Chains A and B, each alone.
Chain A
Amino acid sequence: MIAVSEVIMIEPATGETIALSKLPIGRDARVTAVNGTGSITRRLLEMGVIPGVSVKVVKMAPFGDPIEIRVRGFSLAMRRSETDAIEVSY
């Protein structure tokens, strides 16, 4: 299923939020906040990683970094340091 119809809800599901980099692999979660004002934050938002969207960590690269996430039906690779700005709840 493409994660299209699951976008709207903005309230966290369990109330507890963690950084995306701490999310266990394969667990579905929902973005609650994308922090920061820099160009990385902006690029993440423009690629559709905005609060309310569902997201999951698909895998890690061999040396533990970068990680692959799936959002809005596509895969995005990013370094761990970049995922710190993304908060999720699950």
Chain B
Amino acid sequence: MEVNGHNSHITVALAGNPNAGKTTLFNSLTGLKQKVANYPGVTVERKEGPWKIYGKIANLIDLPGLYSLDATSLDEQIASDIIRGEQPGVPKPDVIVAAVDATNLERNLYLVMQMFEFGVPVVIALTMIDVFEKQKHEIDVEMLSVLLKTPVVAVNSKSGRGREELAAKVAKVLYTTPVVPYVYDETADESGPHGKIFDRYNFISNAVQESVWHSDHKQHLLTDKIDRVLTHKFFGLVILVGVLLVVFQTIFSWASLPMDLLEKGFGAISDFVRVEMPPGILTDLLADGIIAGVGGVVVFLPQILLLFLFISLLEDSGYMARAAFLLDKLMSRVGLHGKAFLPLISSFACAIPGIMATRTIESRRDRFATIMIAPFMSCSARLPVYTLMIATFFAGRTIFGFISLGAVLMLAMYALGIVVAIAVAFVLKRTVLRAPPPPFLMELPPYRLPNLRTVFQNMITRAWLFLKRAGTVILAISIILWALMYFPRALPVPSVGPQVPNSEQLETRNPESVTLPESEQLKHSFAGKLGHVIEPVIRPLGFDWKIGVALIASFAAREVLVSTLSIIYNVGKDENEQSETLISAVRDAKTDEGKPAWTPLTALTLMVFFVLAMQCMSTIAVVRRETNSWSWPLFMTAYMTALAYIAALITYQGGKYLGFG
């Protein structure tokens, strides 16, 4: 079988425990030419790349990190399927390279014992050998190799030590049959159902005892010292809050500069298209549908890159496991795993990288529960909506004469999201995602300096996966939304002459735009008609059909509400949430019956709706990708929107009953 287009038939699987230096070894063997995808039907990552072995090119497959091949988790199931040659689309490996952490030999060798039973030759790559030798331990590699009846090579991914020898050994064992080095007596039943595990460990203990000499050096000395601070009952939590603040601050504010630049860049491209191409449907589709749609996706890239930079650094240094250790008790109260905290915190900036970050949670149910509640965290796209509403109706008001009402409302919106998220997690974990509490059982690896190349590669991989997969769905939805607001045309599509104003929700920067017909077009478009259709439904929330149109448009992305309101109220769509013209236009807006369209209560109701509703097609696309099904994102959209409606209804009707608005 042709693999990756290389003229090679050799397939090598790279397997090992988590934290065994497997990824670094993989990178050093394959270089930058790696391919990352998912195994079909699951979200287990499939990573492969070419590895040169004596002029031939083998396809090196990086198996997920695992402790055992006995298939208790999805990762283990996939790994053992691959080794057996039963994973569709993956040829049965000819050789397994086992990454074995020299500083943690016994547990790492356990997995190797299992590999021997698959009938595929194994070569052991002894990693972390530099750390091991620095601790003045000694290992007789020859002896270990003799005892295990399989080649053992000490490797150092940084210096390249052992890389040639590893290739040589792989070439040598090709097409041989491995010998299981230990004897297991199936008939001896005194050891019970776990007899095989005991036998494997007994064999390993003896082999290690004969080939390794341990110095008195305390392996955990440095890690213990660091842990005395980082997992301290008090300081540990203080530092954790500090780390989270830095992460949050970075994706929230540092990303805004590149995001603005991207937004402006796409605006410029869109303008360019508009100037260079003859006006017409095609130009409008390209400028406002496709370019704006793609731009709307790409704009999240800085946040995703930054978050994954942090996640890689935290994971690879060993801190992520500590953070989960510190927070597990709190998170387990609502039925979540300790590792759920980072995705949830990140979701305050944007749910998309947050949801992608849930991959660090192994248990599927825990992961899905975290994904389902992540969009309740008030993300940065809600800020323009909150800001517009507060600036229009609550600016300058205070409580007790000194507390700004706006600040209190803003805080209340964040709190509402968190409270609802906790409640939903609680319910989900007792209903659709009910499961016995998953084992926490998590290794706390020694602290290590992250390998920058691995970190960088991880970042790029995530970004690419996001662009590729989410991009296609988002693009399709953008075009649909564009069409909804563009058709049917109220005015004839222009063929000549000066530009006729365009009529879409997504921003264009067209100085020639005459604003009045835009709102006319919107009124006659499918979106406008939809606004009228849903008016009876949103009436009880205090919204008229115009707000309805803005709501429909904002299902593409929340911040679109602001530009859509600008179009509806004829102030031009380049207005932002702090623009005085837009603020006064909203304040003065009238319903068709001539009554004020907005009251402070309507504004509050809208804010509550925005806290809870699922109005972000990028999130839906990412949830589709991460859960590998359409039912989860649809369920999410349905229940969130239902919750939003009910909460908004209570707010509006309750407010009216109490005499507000």
A interface with B by C-beta (< 8 Å): 1-2, 4-5, 7-8, 37, 39-48, 50-51, 58-59, 61-66, 68, 70, 72-79, 81-82
Given A2-B214, A77-B444, the answer on whether A45 and B197 have CB atoms closer than 8 Å is yes
Q: Write the B436-466 contact mask toward A (1 if CB under 8 angstroms, else 0).
A: 0101111111000000000000000000000
On chain A, the residues within 8 Å of B444 by CB distance are 68, 74-77
Residues of A within 8 A of B234 (CB): 62
Interface size class of B (residues with CB under 8 A): 35 or more
Given known contacts A2-B219, A40-B439, A61-B231, A73 and B193 CB-to-CB distance under 8 angstroms: no
Q: How many angstroms between the C-alpha atoms of A81 and B214 in the bound complex?
A: 34
12 contacts between A and B (CB under 8 A): A8-B202, A40-B441, A43-B441, A45-B194, A46-B197, A51-B198, A61-B326, A62-B236, A66-B329, A73-B106, A81-B437, A82-B439
Residues of chain A with a CB closer than 8 A to B193's CB: 37
Identify which of B72, B329, B439, B441 contacts A61 (C-beta below 8 A): B329
| Chain B residue nearest to A72 in the complex (CB) | B106
Closest CB-CB distance, B226 to chain A, in whole Å?
12
Contact of A50 among B70, B198, B227 (CB under 8 A): B198
Instruction: Check if A48 sits within 8 Å of B440, measured CB to CB.
Output: no
Find A73's partner among B67, B104, B440 (CB 8 Å cutoff).
Answer: B104
Tell me whether A50 and B326 are in contact (CB under 8 A). no
User: In the complex, A8→B203 CA distance in Å?
Assistant: 11
Report the minimal beta-carbon distance from A59 to chain B, rounded to whole angstroms: 7
Q: Which of A50, A61, A76 has the most CB of B within 10 A?
A: A61
Q: How many Cβ-Cβ contacts under 8 Å join chain A to chain B?
A: 129
Which residues does chain A contribute within 8 Å of B332, judged by CB atoms? 79
Residue B212 interfacial (CB < 8 Å):
yes
Seed contacts A2-B137, A46-B197; 5 additional CB < 8 Å A-B pairs: A4-B212, A50-B197, A61-B231, A76-B444, A79-B439
A48-B237 in contact given A4-B212, A73-B104, A74-B104 (Cβ < 8 Å): no
For A63, the chain B residues whose CB sits under 8 A away are 329-330
Cα–Cα distance between A41 and B227 once the two chains are bound (Å): 27
Q: Could you say which residues of chain B place their CB within 8 Å of the CB of A46?
A: 67-68, 70, 110, 197
B325 x A76 contact (CB < 8 A): no
A22 to chain B, nearest CB (A): 19
B328 interface hit (Cβ, 8 Å): yes
On whether A66 and B328 interact (CB within 8 A), knowing A4-B209, A46-B110, A73-B103, the answer reads: yes
Distance, CA A65 to CA B110, complexed state (A) = 28
Q: Please tell me if the beta carbons of A82 and B67 are within 8 angstroms of each other in the complex.
A: no
Of all chain B residues, the one with the shortest Cβ separation from A69 is B444
Minimum CB–CB distance for B28 against chain A, Å:
24
Complex Cα–Cα for A64 and B326 (A): 10
| A82–B329 touching, CB < 8 Å | no
Closest to B237 in A: A62
Tell whether, in the assembled complex, residue B214 and residue A62 are in contact, meaning their CB atoms are under 8 Å apart: no
Known: A4-B106, A62-B237. A42 touches B328 (CB 8 A): no
Instruction: Give, as a whole number of angstroms, the nearest-CB distance from A87 to chain B.
Output: 15
With both chains docked as a complex, state the minimum distance between the C-beta of A86 and any C-beta of chain B, in angstroms: 12
